[in-house]
Chain A
Amino acid sequence: MSGVRVLVGTRKGGFILTSDERREQWEVSGPFFSGWQVMHMKGSPVDPNRIYASQYDDWFGQMIQRSDDGGVTWEPMGNEFQYEGEVTTHEWYDGTQHPWEFKRIWHLEPSLTETDVVYAGGEDAALFRSDDGGKTWQEYSALRAVKGPLWAPGAGGMCLHTIIQDPTNADRLIVAVSAAGVFRTDDGGKTWRPITRGIISRWELADPDAEIGHCIHSIAMHPSRPNVLFMQKHWDVLRSDDGGDSWYEVSGNLPSDFGFPIAVHAHEPETIYVVPIKSDSEHYPVDGKLRVYRSRTGGNEWEALTNGLPQEHCYVNILRDAMAVDSLESCGIYFGTTGGQVYASTNSGDTWTAIAGHLPPVLSVEVQTLP
């Protein structure tokens, strides 16, 4: 019998929610790494029992954990993340230059094809790769060479939070950094370039269409159309139809185009989801109503999805890595809130149910569809 496994990273540990394909009854296990922030957990597309977790604590730093039995047991992997070559500088909050300093891993992205290959997005922003299942890590230092002194931290730190692999081209990776922008390599990481044409940050940057400095919040891609990318920026929802070479806004009739996560339906590449947040200074849903917005037209035309979601006095946030989809026949959508709820829809967003209600603030949600 098939089923799903929802991997939930929170400020005080990791949780795994499992169900069969009906997704009606949920079993909750955890917390794993109790008391630590679990920034992100993600399973290998090659071996679903292989799960990687980023475990962080302000006191004791970064750990990487790995499970080879679907999250039942865990083993610590390597936590030596060193910047390769010269440690360069980036812009600091006061405008001065500040050396790159490693703090933590925001996002783990297992390879689409190799069980032991996994990418990690770090703070201060850098992309790391492991070829031995997380034991050792090497940096793609050429990324930092792309006008690194102009990169600057956002309010949450200067983090590389989005890593997209092109399923048709192993040499292409797309990464996003807050607040530096979005970058692409087409030669396996040897060289990188900013891909920001069409991105406008009118309220955030003195030069609104600068190559560097945009605060990208998240990017999503449907594997059947790797050249089509959807982006939730600080403000604005955008899409690209040419692998990021150019972007255009598709915010349309959203009540606010500020938000953090964006996701694509598993079977409908033009169906996308965002959760509008009131503003950059008020990180909660517009009018206190928790509404997921769905576009079936790849943007511009959006409909509010509210059935089963709180429609008054709701002041939670949904963070950038906290929304994901399963690939069962009736596509499931999942998201977690800073209030500790995890909501699931088993019908593409038409109706929602809380499958966990009282977790610590949710940092990330990923879903594995199990055979």
Chain B
Amino acid sequence: MIRVILPAHLQTLARVGREVEIEVTGPVTQRTVLDALEATYPILRGTIRDRVTQRRRPLIRFFACERDLSHEPPDSPLPEEVATGKEAFWIVGAMAGG
């Protein structure tokens, strides 16, 4: 199982806690994790990736294993620790204060 940590607003929308577990078949990448997450919680469609382009929304960040993976290609494998469930894949609202 893949562990995913959601920001507060998305927890509210999906009516879940901070961390959810999802099943991913095949390679574990940003795309497959987000596909599985949206399949499990359809309400999250459009909140993390653009509906049309499927690109990460500008103020969303992806973290794992203390690394910022936001700019990695969506089909690149995620770290082994994420694929094995040892570490969580973090979906984060970017800092954008003033």
A interface residues, Cβ below 8 angstroms from B: 35-36, 57-63, 76, 79-82, 102
Contacts and interface: CB of A to CB of B under 8 A. Distances in A.
Given A36-B9, A82-B51, A59 B57 contact: yes
Most chain B Cβ neighbours within 10 Å, of A36, A57, A59, A61: A59
B32 to A, nearest CB: 21
Nearest to B94: A59
B56 to A, nearest CB: 11
A369 B13 CA distance: 30
A55 B93 CA distance: 17
B93 A60 contact: yes
B9 A79 contact: no
Interface stretch (B20-28, B42-50, B70-78): B42-50
Nearest to A80: B51
A35 B43 CA distance: 18
B45 A80 contact: yes
Interface in B46-96: 46-48, 51-52, 57, 59-60, 93-94, 96
Contacts of B57: 59-61
B10 interface: yes
Nearest to A58: B59
A63 B46 CA distance: 9
A162 to B, nearest CB: 25
A225 to B, nearest CB: 40
Contacts of A59: 7, 9, 57, 59-60, 93-94, 96
B46 A82 contact: no
Contacts of B60: 59-60
7 contacts: A58-B96, A59-B57, A60-B9, A61-B57, A62-B46, A79-B51, A102-B51
B63 to A, nearest CB: 15
Interface of B: 7-10, 13, 43, 45-48, 51-52, 57, 59-60, 93-94, 96
B6 to A, nearest CB: 10
B9 A57 contact: yes
Contacts, number: 42
A322 B92 CA distance: 33
Contact of B9 (A35, A62, A82): A35
Contacts of B43: 76
A120 B13 CA distance: 21
A36 B10 CA distance: 11
A60 B52 contact: no
A35 B93 CA distance: 13
A35 B8 CA distance: 10
Nearest to A79: B46
Contacts of B45: 79-80
A64 to B, nearest CB: 11
B51 to A, nearest CB: 6
A57 B51 CA distance: 15
Contacts of A82: 51-52
A81 B46 CA distance: 10
Given A60-B57, A76-B43, 16 more contacts: A35-B8, A58-B96, A59-B7, A59-B60, A59-B96, A60-B10, A60-B47, A60-B60, A61-B46, A62-B46, A63-B13, A63-B47, A76-B13, A79-B45, A80-B45, A82-B51
A215 B42 CA distance: 37
Contacts of B93: 59-60
- By Cβ-Cβ distance, the 3 closest A-B pairs, closest first, are A60-B47, A59-B59, A59-B93
Most chain B Cβ neighbours within 10 Å, of A57, A58, A61, A80: A61
A60 B51 CA distance: 11
Contacts of B10: 60
B80 to A, nearest CB: 29
Contacts of A76: 13, 43
B10 to A, nearest CB: 7
A63 B13 CA distance: 10
B94 A80 contact: no
Contact of B47 (A35, A61, A81, A102): A61
A80 B52 CA distance: 9
A134 to B, nearest CB: 13
Contacts of B51: 79-82, 102
Contacts of B96: 58-59
A62 B96 CA distance: 18
Nearest to A35: B9
